[in-house]
Chain A
Amino acid sequence: QSVLTQPPSVSGAPGQRVTISCTGSSSNIGAGYDVHWYQQLPGTAPKLLIYGNSNRPSGVPDRFSGSKSGTSASLAITGLQAEDEADYYCQSYDSSLSGLEVFGGGTKLTVL
């Protein structure tokens, strides 16, 4: 059971907007620690998508955006494309004994 909770799956049609939530607690996201997001395409290593809650690395399309509020964070994908079908993971820091660097359980995005 992950310290950060994500929905197991989300789906959307091409062109639509989807959001993926990442819910934590007062010892991680709620404590002010930043949230980072990764995209894992099938059979490949994770790739950084968003760092520091809302910053996009060079080369990541602006269709991807991140936000954080309270004990939760969200990843939004607009203009959904078939190539966005992948697993998405959030990551943060936890100050309790659950772990230091912690990942969410992952969300499978299906493009209908």
Chain B
Amino acid sequence: QITLKESGPTLVKPTQTLTLTCTFSGFSLSTSGVGVGWIRQPPGKALEWLALIYWNDDKRYSPSLKSRLTITKDTSKNQVVLTMTNMDPVDTATYYCAHSPPTVTTNWFDPWGQGTLVTVSS
């Protein structure tokens, strides 16, 4: 059974850097084709994909947020870390991490973590 759980601060101040950790079990991020993605959802709004890291350390970022995002993995700890710099109140959202299985076509996310709400406010 695959599970993921997000952790990190619930409140950050504007201009600060957000660091979120996704701790997972039930799969290995050293298995060929596997990835872990981050997706966020502002309150009452739609899902927005942020970043994806693959088993081979290939990294993909949302073009609109690329300059602010960094995704890394620690395979030995079964963790993926997302950092987002220069936080703004519009970045207030629930942040999800999700498993991306090996695929020969496009990526999908299954399952997802429970999400963590991050509020940006002074």
Give A contacts to B, CB under 8 Å.
Answer: 2, 33-34, 36, 38, 45-48, 51-52, 57, 89, 91-93, 97-106
Name 15 A/B residue pairs within 8 A (Cβ), A-sorted: A34-B108, A36-B106, A38-B109, A45-B96, A45-B111, A45-B115, A46-B39, A46-B96, A48-B110, A92-B106, A97-B63, A101-B106, A102-B49, A103-B46, A106-B46
Q: Give chain A residues whose Cβ lies under 8 Å from the Cβ of B114.
A: 45
Give B contacts to A, CB under 8 Å.
Answer: 37, 39, 46-49, 52, 60-64, 96, 103, 105-115
Q: Give chain B residues whose Cβ lies under 8 Å from the Cβ of A38.
A: 47, 109
A98 in contact with B46 (CB, 8 Å): no
Taking chain B's interface residues, is the majority helix, strand, or loop, or is none over half, making it mixed?
A: loop
How many angstroms between the C-alpha atoms of A33 and B96 in the bound complex?
Answer: 23
How many angstroms between the C-alpha atoms of A82 and B39 in the bound complex?
Answer: 28
Among A36, A45, A57, chain B packs the most CB atoms within 10 A around the CB of: A45
A34 in contact with B63 (CB, 8 Å): no
How many angstroms between the C-alpha atoms of A52 and B114 in the bound complex?
Answer: 24
Q: Give chain B residues whose Cβ lies under 8 Å from the Cβ of A101.
A: 37, 49, 52, 60, 106-107
How many angstroms between the C-alpha atoms of A92 and B105 in the bound complex?
Answer: 10
